[in-house]
Amino acid sequence: MNCSACGKPNSEDVSFCEFCGADMRTRAIPSNPPAAWAAPSQPAPPSAAEVAQMGKSVLNSLSLGDKFVAGGAIAAVLGFFLPAISITVPDKAGEVVGLLLGFLGASGGAEMGRASVSLFDMTKLLGVVYFVLLLAITSGILFYFSRKATSPQKLLISGFQIVIGSLNGPGCIIALLFIPGMGSVAGIGYWLLGLGFCSIATGGLITIATLGKTAR
């Protein structure tokens, strides 16, 4: 072994260095030190097929009620930012109409003949419109926690999902079906909002019905 003080080789059984007298009992250096550990290699990023398989596994793990709730929450959030109302602007629109559409940030304009306004645009006039987005996000958060919840907790969460969906979904769909002219001015955002919130309420009802059958 080599001396840790002078570095000269010594016999394996000596306690002190034969050249400098240094203590070899606690500071011995092996003649063949182990090779340094190699740095761990970085894991390769998942391929598109692996990502698709992971998504499929997550989807298969969801119950029917969870799928309705998750899909509805995503649709409602998207609908909030997409055009909700699309109206025809007269060629000689008054200054008030032009200023209002400009303030809302409407896409299009009088010169294009049509203007589209989303619920996000409407928040510039009424901040309470953000409540619609808050409900959709709350539904998504409840969905996340419900995946690991117990049966009593799932029942409670499903009840909240029904309330959230009922606050906006049925009203939007009734307006689309029964108010004259509403279907012609409603944009994709309005449809997504209505169908999304109705899907949330439907998912809550399905979950409660499923849990009720399991309890029996």
Q: pLDDT of 181-197, one tens digit each? A: 888 888 899 999 999 99
Residue 114 contacts residue 143 (beta carbons within 8 Å): no
More confident residue, 62 or 162: 162
Per-residue pLDDT tens digits for 71-125: 999 999 999 999 888 766 555 444 444 444 554 555 544 444 567 788 888 887 7
Which residue in 169, 163, 204, 192 sits closest to 64, CA to CA? 204
43 is a domain residue: no
Structure tokens at 15: 């306690």
Number of structural domains the chain divides into? 2
Residue with tokens 């009593």: 152
Nearest Cα neighbor of 143 from 159, 157, 153, 164 is 157
In this structure, the answer to whether residues 129 and 208 fall within a common structural domain is yes
Give pTM, 2 decimals. 0.68
Query: Is 2 a domain residue?
Result: yes
Residue 112, in any domain of the structure: no
54 lies in some domain: no
Specify the higher pLDDT residue, 49 or 35: 49
The torsion angles phi and psi of 7, rounded to 5 degrees, stand at: 80, 5
Structural domain of 166: 63-84+123-215
